[in-house]
Structure 1
Amino acid sequence: MNLLKKVFYQTAAIIPSGVLKSISPITTLFPYQHTVSDSVLLHIKHLYPYKGTKQFTKDLDFILKDYRPITANDIWNVIQKGDTLPKNTFLLSFDDGFRETEEIIAPILIAKGVPAVFFINPAFVDNRELFYRCKISLVIERLIEKKENTSLLNTGCEILGLDKNTPFENLIRRIKIITNLDAGLLDKLAPHLDISFEEYLYTEKPFLSMKQLESLVKMGFELGGHSWNHPYFHLLSIDEQIHQTSASIDFINAHFTQKIKLFSFPHSDSGISNSYFQHTDSVDMFFGTQNQKLESNHNVFHRFNTERPDLPLQQQIKGILLLSFLQRLFAKNQVTRFD
């Protein structure tokens, strides 16, 4: 966390929660995460930090003191009536469909009486395909292990179009910015690093199986689409964006009975046009990641990430409440869409 963010959260921490609630326009909180684990998950290790079971449980205990958990269906009923979202409530969600959601997270939520939405990418279900971002983490891990192998590093540089003897940090930086458009580079790197993504899928099974998804539904949790295979939407044509959306929703409709059709944008919803929303009427509710900002579209809601292990949920909630107040103060709390 950079210095500016540290100062911001420290400032938010000294303001009483009651004061922040009274000045913030937020009524319903939309926290989201990807996974919870006490183990080192190599396919995530070099992407982002995540919380362990103890901290996750502590976070839930905190939020349940001041906020009431609700379902996506509850929110749908509210917006259908044209009402405002209920105060002091929260809807928890998890992206990407990692298996820990069923094995670790769901049992904790059931014990606490907390509903949640799990957004999945059908391409990864049953571990049929490895998310390219997970490949990035595995490649970086292996490069760190073989950091002293100059010949291997130069081969990596050649594959990535970098000069030989490029500094190791620059090599890693280049790998981290690989997108869905050049993800094939990871498959070219893998054999030189003695990595088999297929073997990793078979042995580690990082994603949910169909059986586990059925288990989540039986437990009463809601499922939503998160695109077919998690591309950056801003790198796609609008037709591709619509296809990625409808394909993930269609998969859920074909296999599960869900009252409402839910979709969360992969990576980010920045740059999504009004035209996209006009052509995705198969979705009832959308979820973005622009830190609780408001939308002119009444069925689009913005979440905030609560994954940082160095920040207890109490601090993160205080931070998002203060941020929303400041954004409204400076007329920056509304998402602007283009046609």
Structure 2
Amino acid sequence: MRNKQQPAKPSFLLTFDDGLSEFYEIIAPILIQKGIPAINFLNTAFIDNKNLFYRYKASLLINHIKENPQLNKLLSVFFADNGFANNNLYNIILSINFNNRKLFDKAAKICNYSFEDFLQVKKPYLTSVQINELSKQGFLFGAHSINHPKYSELNLQEQIRQTQESVEFVKNKFEQPYKLFAFPFTDFGVSSELFNKFFNHENHILDFSFANAGLKNDEFCRNIQRIPMEGTSASGKKIIKTEYLYYLLKAALSKNSVIH
């Protein structure tokens, strides 16, 4: 990859984001049986179920309100008092971004809902013990930032901090051979300056980074664009065929590369 050389035979790299416990319970046994390796990208703040992705908090809060409709008016007033006024409470909750994520904890307290109880009962994330076991079984691990912000909403220094701290944590704690990182959400809107910091030859932060723009070339050969396999009812086979078709069509127009 560093030399832009193609593999000798057709191959693919399977990756999973967010470090969810289903990887250990369901996915890994299937991959081991079939002899397929994979990389799992972890949000370091969520390992061992210590915290929860803010978008998950939004979904849980909406479900709680649906089960307890009497909370609708109370929470509408709460969000309005915090600058979020809308006729639809669910739209308000879904519009809250990373920088305002603490509102979810306050809202949960108001309506007597506990994200901590959810984490302890459901245990949605991988534990350190599970990660070490999976690592011994041949799976690789990288970082997915500390707590899953959208990078285009962060300044450069915070982008670097989120990346460097999470990557170093994963590499050192779980004795990983590479510094690997997958952007949370997307690398859209991220400047070339960040990638130059990532791959600086003298003091590189990363060995490779991964994004989700589909089958495309990238301005930085060590930033690998992945094909998203979620959010659609199409089969994996159809998704890959479609990506190849788009790639070839865009190649004719010189539009199959990501420029940052």
Question: TM-score, length-normalised on structure 1?
Answer: 0.71
Deviation at 1:327, TM superposition (A): 2.1
Residues 251-290 of structure 1 mapped to structure 2, 5 A cutoff: 251-280=169-198, 281-290=204-213
Whole-angstrom CA distance in 1 between matches of 2:76 and 2:9: 53
Corresponding residue for residue 159 of structure 1 = 78
Q: Which amino acid aligns with 1:141?
A: N
Q: Which amino acid aligns with 1:143?
A: I
Corresponding residue for residue 215 of structure 1 = 133
Corresponding residue for residue 233 of structure 2 = 310
Whole-angstrom CA distance in 1 between matches of 2:158 and 2:232: 35
Whole-angstrom CA distance in 2 between matches of 1:95 and 1:250: 17
Corresponding residue for residue 133 of structure 1 = 55
Corresponding residue for residue 88 of structure 1 = 10
Corresponding residue for residue 74 of structure 1 = none
Aligned residues: 252
Given the alignment, which residue of 129, 134, 158 partners 1:240?
A: 158
Corresponding residue for residue 33 of structure 1 = none
Match of 2:129, SS state, is: helix
Q: Does 1:293 align with 2:216?
A: yes
Match of 2:133, SS state, is: helix
Unaligned runs of at least 5 residues, structure 1: 1-78
Identity of aligned residues (%): 37
Q: Per-residue CA shift, 1:82-135, capped at 9, x if unaligned?
A: 422455311100000011111111001001111100000110011111111110
Whole-angstrom CA distance in 1 between matches of 2:178 and 2:143: 11
Over 3 Å counting, the alpha-carbon distance change for 1:295 and 1:81 in structure 2 is closer
Match of 2:257, SS state, is: coil
Q: Which amino acid aligns with 1:293?
A: K
Deviation at 1:336, TM superposition (A): 1.6
Whole-angstrom CA distance in 2 between matches of 1:86 and 1:129: 42
Corresponding residue for residue 143 of structure 2 = 225
Deviation at 1:329, TM superposition (A): 2.5
Match of 1:110, SS state, is: helix
Corresponding residue for residue 327 of structure 1 = 250
Is the CA contact (8 Å cut-off) linking 1:292 and 1:303 kept in structure 2?
yes
Q: Which amino acid aligns with 1:140?
A: I
Corresponding residue for residue 106 of structure 2 = 188
Whole-angstrom CA distance in 2 between matches of 1:332 and 1:146: 49
Residues 63-212 of structure 1 mapped to structure 2, 5 A cutoff: 79-147=1-69, 149=70, 152-161=71-80, 162-163=84-85, 167=87, 170-212=88-130
Deviates more, 1:312-321 or 1:234-243: 312-321
Q: Per-residue CA shift, 1:61-95, capped at 9, x if unaligned?
A: xxxxxxxxxxxxxxxxxx24442245531110000
Deviation at 1:309, TM superposition (A): 6.0
Deviates more, 1:307-316 or 1:261-270: 307-316
Deviates more, 1:288-297 or 1:220-229: 288-297
Is the CA contact (8 Å cut-off) linking 1:292 and 1:301 kept in structure 2?
no
* Larger RCO (alpha carbons 8 Å, 6+ apart): 1
Corresponding residue for residue 45 of structure 1 = none
Question: TM-score, length-normalised on structure 2?
Answer: 0.91
* RMSD across aligned positions (CA): 1.6
